Amino acid sequence: MVLELGKEYPLAGEDKLIDILLASLSQDLDDKGQPMLRQQHPKSHGLVKGEFIVDSNLPEDLKIGVFQREKYDVLIRFSNGSNKRKDGHLQSDMVGDARGIAIKLLNVGQNNNEQDFVGINHPVMFIKDIKGYLDFGLVQKGMVEGKVILKPGEPPQVDDEFREPFQASAYAFGILKEIAAKATTSPLDIIYWSTTPYKLGEKAIKYQMVPHQTQTFNPQNAQDQDNYLREGIKQYLQKREAYFDFKIQFQTDADKMLIEDPTIEWKESDSPFIKVATIKIFQQEFDTAEVKQQDESLSFSPWHCLPEHRPLGGVNRARNKIYTQLSEKRKLDSH
Ligand code: HEM
């Protein structure tokens, strides 16, 4: 098949697969009497305020969507990916995990809409499509049931019924291992990638957020190591502002830079990231009950967007219905 730049190629029967995934994620959402948190990325390290400042010297062909205006107020939420709990507590920050960023530009466009940008600290997603997500979910179920047993240094033990999804998930385990091996000094110190593609007008891009500051915190010095990522942001922002560059990368080769498979990195050697804006996070106190409540009441989604920035590809198509329905469900529960 000859692939075209910016074009989507949905899986056959994709809508049905999305419904199956939504149903299975909804089942996991019951937090047994606790207030319902996000199904993914439930642990927040802080909701902070800042500004998204578009570069003043952008070439005309990049002045599309939000990049047409000078400045926006933003809310930014930092998170861990894992929804695992032990004794009612979400996983310790000392355990390797995907670290998330979610940025909400406020009062965007003519209708005062929101534009969200969502990233993780790795250039690629761990599953390529919805079928991949469902296979991975089955393997996790097998692990809970003791029918898939993985021990470091030992060959995996897999019951026949889980063999097929287990084999199909080998690449996902590889990517998750790379993500878990990454050290994070503070969420303010690391690079985040969209992993999935988006429109920029008629073209397709991925995006990236690159910090100006590095090594701002030493986890060994934390008062509470299980929650040191919040402590790191808190200590830094008490004294000064933090900054990230917001960069975009154009899809320039439809065969190498796939729209439908976010496990394949778009190489910078094929198309470099270009800086288009600066994210400024104010000096502030954010670790309050009020801000935590606001954090839980918010929803971030790649589908909170101007049409010029519409999400592309199967993983993003699935996120439309899934983020909408699961975030509504958790908010209903908390009332
Ligand atoms: C089919 C694939 C995916 C599914 C099913 C999924 C599911 C979810 C769900 C249910 C939430 C919580 C929504 C809410 O309650 O408000 C969430 C949040 C999040 N997801 Fe995904 N996700 C997927 C792909 C991705 C990808 C590719 C990324 C990479 C950037 C990502 C990064 C995040 C982040 C950072 C959050 C936290 C947002 C916040 O702070 O509110 N997800 N995801």
The CATH number for 114's domain is 2.40.180.10
279, 54 contact by CB (below 8 A): no
Q: Which residue has the higher pLDDT, 35 or 129?
A: 129
Q: Categorize the per-residue pLDDT at 269 as very low, low, confident or very high, splitting at 50, 70 and 90.
A: very high
Contact present, 238 and 17 (Cβ < 8 Å): no
Give the count of domains, the chain: 1
Q: Is 207 in the pocket of ligand 1 (CB under 6 A)?
A: no
User: 170-180 vs 130-144: helix axis angle to the nearest 10?
Assistant: 80
CB 167 within 8 A of CB 173: no
Instruction: Confirm or reject: Cβ of 213 under 6 Å from ligand 1.
Output: no
User: 132 in ligand 1 pocket by Cβ < 6 Å?
Assistant: no
Best residue among 21, 30, 40 to mutate for probing ligand 1's pocket (most ligand atoms within 8 Å of CB) is: 40
Q: What is the CA radius of gyration of the chain?
A: 20
In the numeric block, the tokens 């030992």 are attached to: 154
| Assigned domain for 19 exists | yes
Residue 133 is assigned to a structural domain of this protein = no
Is the CB of 327 within 6 Å of ligand 1?
Answer: yes
How many angstroms separate the Cα of 104 from the Cα of each of 228, 266, 298, 305, 312? 24, 25, 10, 10, 19
Strands 148-149 and 157-158: antiparallel
CA dihedral sign of residues 29, 34, 38, 39: negative
Residue 257 within a domain: yes
Does residue 84 lie in a domain region?
Answer: yes
Decide: 318 in ligand 1 pocket, CB within 6 A.
Answer: yes
- Closest CA to ligand 1's atom 13: 323
Residue 315 CA: which ligand 1 atom is closest?
1
Q: Is 100 helix (H, G, I), strand (E, B) or coil?
A: strand
Range of the domain at 46: 14-122+182-330
Query: Which residue carries 């699935």 as its tokens?
Result: 318
- Confidence at residue 31, expressed as pLDDT on a 0 to 100 scale: 61
Residue 18 forms beta bridges with which residues?
A: none
Question: pLDDT confidence of 112, banded at 50, 70, 90?
Answer: confident
Expressed in angstroms and rounded, the spacing between residue 39 Cα and the centre of ligand 1 is: 8
Pocket probe mutation, ligand 1, options 26, 28, 38, 316, max atoms within 8 Å of Cβ: 38
| 74: Cβ contacts below 8 Å, ≥ 6 apart | 49, 50, 51, 52, 103, 104, 105, 106, 279
Q: What percent of the chain has pLDDT over 70?
A: 97
pTM: 0.97
- Residue 299 CA: distances (Å) to CA of 41, 104, 136, 243, 320: 12, 9, 25, 23, 12
Ligand 1 centroid, distance to 178 Cα (angstroms)? 19
The answer to the question of residue 127 being in a domain is no
Query: Cα 176 from chain centroid?
Result: 14
CA distance 135 to 272: 33
pLDDT at 61: 95
**In the chain, what's the furthest Cα-to-Cα distance?**
59
Indicate which atom in ligand 1 lies nearest the CA of residue 133. Answer: 1
Q: Which helix (H) or strand (E) holds 243?
A: strand 242-250
Which atom of ligand 1 is least distant from the CA of 327? 15
Ligand 1 pocket, 118 CB below 6 A?
Answer: yes
Q: Which residues contact 234 (CB under 8 A, 6 or more apart)?
A: 46, 286, 287
Q: Ligand 1: which of 319, 325, 327 to mutate, judged by most atoms within 8 Å of the beta carbon?
A: 319
Q: Which of 107-111, 140-144, 285-289 has the highest mean pLDDT?
A: 285-289
* Assigned domain for 131 exists: no
Among the listed ranges 33-37, 68-72, 124-128, 175-179, which one has the minimum average pLDDT value?
Answer: 33-37
Structural contact between residues 109 and 308, judged by C-beta atoms closer than 8 angstroms: no
Give yes or no for residue 77 CB within 6 A of ligand 1.
yes
Q: Is residue 173 part of a domain?
A: no
Measure 131 CA to ligand 1 centroid, in angstroms: 17
How many angstroms separate the alpha carbon of residue 300 from the centre of ligand 1?
8
| Binding site membership of 90 for ligand 1 (Cβ less than 6 Å) | no
Mean pLDDT of 274-279: 98
Alpha-carbon distance of 335 to 317, in angstroms, equals: 29
pLDDT at 277 exceeding the cut of 70: yes
Which residue's CA is the closest to the ligand 1 atom numbered 14?
327
Is 1 inside any structural domain? no
Question: In this structure, are residues 193 and 119 in contact, taking their beta carbons and an 8 Å threshold?
Answer: yes
